[in-house]
Amino acid sequence: MTALVFLHGIGGGHAAWDRQVAFFGARGYTTLAWDAPGYGGTPQVEPYSFANVARTLESAIDRLSADPVVVVGHSMGGMIAQEAYALFPQKFRAMALTFTSPAFGGTTSEFTRQFIEARIKPLDLGRTMAEISAGLMQTMHGSRSDPSGLMLAAQVMGTVPPDTYRKAVAMLTTFDRRALLPQIAVPTLVLSGSDDMVAPAKMMERMAQKIPGAEYVCLPGCGHLGPMDQPEAFNAALLSFLQHHGL
């Protein structure tokens, strides 16, 4: 059966995919909700770069002893998926890029500095990850969000080690795989939320248009936390994509 590998966002971890693992596991899929380096007890990598993180993912895929896999990436996980495809495309059977971007949005060093400062300053001021998470969740939800899903997202982010969060924030600012999009040669789902202010739907639609044959789906009323924000709609969109391609 097809193996699905789920990649979480910057404030995530394997538990962010609990509702997907249960749903797709019950339908016979092999599932792996992967913890990136520094998350969930996975050893750190130095330097903390997309290339090194992707190579760690490659080792996890190899341990599955499966045929090429379907990689499902959310937010930062979608960036890791793109990096991994650039490095070892032969291990991909298909890909779902969800609530993500082909590049970091900043265009100047000053924007990058401000982005890092805004996200790291609360840690420097002594706030816990749980406190930071509670504030961020107010900006991440959509008009049709599942309250229990938002609670799960907050709980998961609260467990992220602060040092890992710092490194992941810095790593995000280095990402740019826009040139890769026309070269993606596996079935690809691009999934967005109409209320997502982090990875806006219009941007993701343009992203999908640059990937040959990509399927684009936008979930109405969904914020940035798609797999947790609207788990039933997310699962339905992903299942439809998989079935359409005989996966």
pLDDT tens for 226-241 read 999 999 999 999 999 9
Helix (H), strand (E) at residue 30: strand 30-34
What confidence score (pLDDT) does residue 79 get? 98
CA–CA separation, 186 and 211 (whole Å): 9
| Number of folded domains that form the chain | 1
The CATH number linked to 94 is 3.40.50.1820
Host domain of residue 167: 3-244
pLDDT class of 107 with cuts at 50, 70, 90: low
Mapped onto helix, strand or coil, the DSSP state of residue 220 is coil
Among residues 38, 96, 30, the alpha carbon closest in space to that of 61 is found at: 30
* Its pTM surpasses 0.85: yes
pLDDT digits (tens, 9 = 90+) for 185-215: 999 999 999 999 999 999 999 999 999 999 9
Rounded to an integer, what distance in angstroms lies between the CA atom of residue 57 and that of residue 51? 10
Task: Specify the DSSP class assigned to residue 176.
Answer: B
Indicate the helix (H) or strand (E) that contains 239. helix 231-244
Share of the chain above pLDDT 70, in %: 99
Q: What is the DSSP letter of 36?
A: P
Cis check: omega of the bond before 68, within 30 degrees of 0: no
Q: Is residue 136 predicted with pLDDT exceeding 90?
A: no
Q: Which residues contact 69 (CB under 8 A, 6 or more apart)?
A: 2, 3, 4, 5, 61, 91, 92, 93
Q: What is the pLDDT of residue 188?
A: 98
